[in-house]
């Protein structure tokens, strides 16, 4: 009898493995990438048509930030920025390929990078959560100020009037029903020297900001997507200050509306935090980066979760989004040349992308 049970167990397990979903079968199959420069738009459209479409990618998050010629706030435009015509070409390519296009502007955190202040705080320095922290001539981490990226002050009375104009304009031109607000790696929040935020609970500040953005989008039937790291306890999980929170914002997970979609990024290990978000009631996508072996595990985990979860939980495991932390032009260069990384290995976002998403077989025609 034991032998028969064992055989049955092996058979059922093989059947499970055999029927395991691939990334191309998940409800959300995405790519998150930096905006192409205007001269790379034609190549990017070719890439959408020839690579994203045939791989059944159905979600494209474009990290646009200030790289668009905003009409609502021209003072915030980057010097090199897409025109409306550029964007409409991308919109049309996505439509033709059945891809949902989602713009991203970093809200709250990531208002500077290394030694450079981004446009919002450069033009509106009064929104700076830490105006006393000067940008260093030569950026180094770690540093005495704990400066990774600047944040805007979520309690400044004028900040949302400006950023929501950008959000509305970019969602309109992208014709998008969702918006990605970033909100990752927020280290400066609720600073004791901020006259508005001092003494406030950091989880409440973070949670209230998420809710404010979510409510603004919901008024136009749009959905908020964010990175998940601020909602994970970095100390208890051992995940640390980057891919989780060490400044108590993690309690905001119980304060934010459940219809916010969580992009759960982990790049070094296939951490199983998608379960945490799903159990809290959130839709979640797992986001790999540049380690194909990790990406393959993350894909298998997502498939297993979707196979073994209750019907309610299964609905929340939405799929996988490959993240790319360069602009589209650099990614396409690496992708088409099949470049190795600087150590001569295949640990690159394009190798991860190819691991996750393979082109559908083209039907032979006579
Ligand atoms: Zn403040």
- DSSP letters, 267-312, are SSS---THHHHHHTT--EEEE--S-HHHHHHHHHHHHHHHHHS-HH
CA of 130 to the centre of ligand 1 (A): 8
- pLDDT for 5 equals 64
- pLDDT for 6 equals 60
Rg (Cα) of the chain, in Å, rounded? 21
CA of 293 to the centre of ligand 1 (A): 41
Rounded CA separation 61/83 (Å): 18
CA of 155 to the centre of ligand 1 (A): 5
CA of 75 to the centre of ligand 1 (A): 23
CB-CB contact of 298 with 22 (8 Å): no
- pLDDT for 366 equals 43
- pLDDT for 20 equals 78
CA of 149 to the centre of ligand 1 (A): 15
- pLDDT for 205 equals 98
- pLDDT for 1 equals 52
Rounded CA separation 70/50 (Å): 29
Distance of CA 188 to the CA centre of its chain: 20
- Cα first-last separation, the chain: 54
Query: Which residues of the chain, if any, have pLDDT below 70?
Result: 1-19, 361-366
CA of 152 to the centre of ligand 1 (A): 7
Neighbours of 14 (CB within 10 A): 10
């Amino acid at each position: 009898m034991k032998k028969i049970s064992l055989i049955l167990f092996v058979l059922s397990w093989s059947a499970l493995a055999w029927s395991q979903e691939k990334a191309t079968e998940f409800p959300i199959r995405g790519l998150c990438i930096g905006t192409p420069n205007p001269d790379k738009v034609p190549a990017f459209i070719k890439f959408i048509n020839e690579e994203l479409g045939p791989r059944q990618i159905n979600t494209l998050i474009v990290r646009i930030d200030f790289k668009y010629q905003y009409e609502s706030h021209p003072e915030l435009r980057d010097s090199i920025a897409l025109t409306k015509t550029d964007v409409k070409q991308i919109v049309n390519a996505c439509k033709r390929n059945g891809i949902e296009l989602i713009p991203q502007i970093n809200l709250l955190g990531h208002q500077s990078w290394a030694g450079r202040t981004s446009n919002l705080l450069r033009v509106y320095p009064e929104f700076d959560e830490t105006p006393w922290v000067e940008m260093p001539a030569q950026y180094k981490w770690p540093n005495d100020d704990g400066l990774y990226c600047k944040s805007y002050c979520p309690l400044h009375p004028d900040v949302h009037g400006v950023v929501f104009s950008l959000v509305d304009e970019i969602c309109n031109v992208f014709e998008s029903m969702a918006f990605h607000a970033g909100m990752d790696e927020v280290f400066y929040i609720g600073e004791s020297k901020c006259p508005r935020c001092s003494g406030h609970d950091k989880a409440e500040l973070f949670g209230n900001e998420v809710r404010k953005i979510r409510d603004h989008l919901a008024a136009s039937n749009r959905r908020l997507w964010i990175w998940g790291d601020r909602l994970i306890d970095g100390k208890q999980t051992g995940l640390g200050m980057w891919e989780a929170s060490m400044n108590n914002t993690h309690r905001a997970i119980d304060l934010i509306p459940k219809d916010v979609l969580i992009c759960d990024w982990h790049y070094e290990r296939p951490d199983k935090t998608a379960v945490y978000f799903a159990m809290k009631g959130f839709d979640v996508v797992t986001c790999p980066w540049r380690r194909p072996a990790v990406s393959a595990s993350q894909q298998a985990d997502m498939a297993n979760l979707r196979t073994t979860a209750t019907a309610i939980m299964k609905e929340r495991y939405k799929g996988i989004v490959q993240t790319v932390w360069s602009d589209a032009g650099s990614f396409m260069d690496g992708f088409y040349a099949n470049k190795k990384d600087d150590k001569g290995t295949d640990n690159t976002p394009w190798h991860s992308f190819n691991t996750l998403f393979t082109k559908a077989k083209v039907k032979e025609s006579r």
